[in-house]
């Protein structure tokens, strides 16, 4: 794994990680994940003792929203990559004491095997994560802890107290359209607002 750059998004703890692909006339080879390169990268500020323990994959048809999801106890950090398709990856800061509490970060990702790099999204613990699907897509993500249903919470992406205003206008327009038209699970529709989250027992795990 050779990381070219780490670019902060609207909440600067969320970053786009650009990783090298080695190309020739046959195609490309990529080291998708190396724990030592990730855990020791100076821009990611990872707590000592962190380990990646699980990898998940989802497949979605177009015009779907998955999320916004957060797990605490253990608090999960995620490394998200797009395998096929076209998505907007979204992370909302829900750390109660954070100066960017409520701020939405987002980046548009398109799977393109001709590029000499791959962009992945670093979503640290304390951020509710979601996928806004523009075309049928497969997404994979590594996480620093096992799934724990008792620590899982959904934040409704349509909650009025999420701050989308920091997104570039073209990206905000796409997000707004999907919020109005995309399919969501019943669980995600029942997700809470940020105000309700502040009062939730699990919010104390994020400070």
200 part of the active site: no
Residue in 129, 141, 146, 166 annotated catalytic: 141
77, 123, 147 from 150: Cα distances, Å? 17, 21, 9
> What are the backbone dihedrals phi and psi of residue 152, each rounded to the nearest 5 degrees, phi first?
-95, 135
Q: What is the 3-state secondary structure (H, E, C) of 151-193?
A: HEEEECCCCCCCECCCCCHHHHHHHHHHHHHCECCHHHHCCEC
22 part of the active site: no
Please name the helix (run of DSSP H) or strand (run of DSSP E) that holds residue 198, with its range, or none. helix 194-198
Residue in 22, 41, 69, 166 annotated catalytic: 69
Residues recognised as catalytic: 69, 141
């Amino acid at each position: 794994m050779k990381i070219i750059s780490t670019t902060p998004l609207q909440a600067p703890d969320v970053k786009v990680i650009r990783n090298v692909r080695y190309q020739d006339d046959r195609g490309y080879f990529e080291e998708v994940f190396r724990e030592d390169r990730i855990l020791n990268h100076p821009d990611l500020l990872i707590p000592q003792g962190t380990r990646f323990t699980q990898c998940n994959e989802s497949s979605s048809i177009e015009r779907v929203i998955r999320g916004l999801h957060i797990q605490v106890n253990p608090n999960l950090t995620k490394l998200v990559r797009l395998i096929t398709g076209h998505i907007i990856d979204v992370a909302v800061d829900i750390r109660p004491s954070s100066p960017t509490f409520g701020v939405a970060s987002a980046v548009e990702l398109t799977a393109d095997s001709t590029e000499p790099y791959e962009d992945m999204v670093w979503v640290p613990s304390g951020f509710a994560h979601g996928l806004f699907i523009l075309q049928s897509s497969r997404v994979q993500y590594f996480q620093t802890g096992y799934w724990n249903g008792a620590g899982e919470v959904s934040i409704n992406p349509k909650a009025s107290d999420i701050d989308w205003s920091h997104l570039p206008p073209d990206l905000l327009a796409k997000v707004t359209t999907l919020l109005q038209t995309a399919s969501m699970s019943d669980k995600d529709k029942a997700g809470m607002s940020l105000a309700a989250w502040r009062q939730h027992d699990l919010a104390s795990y994020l400070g």
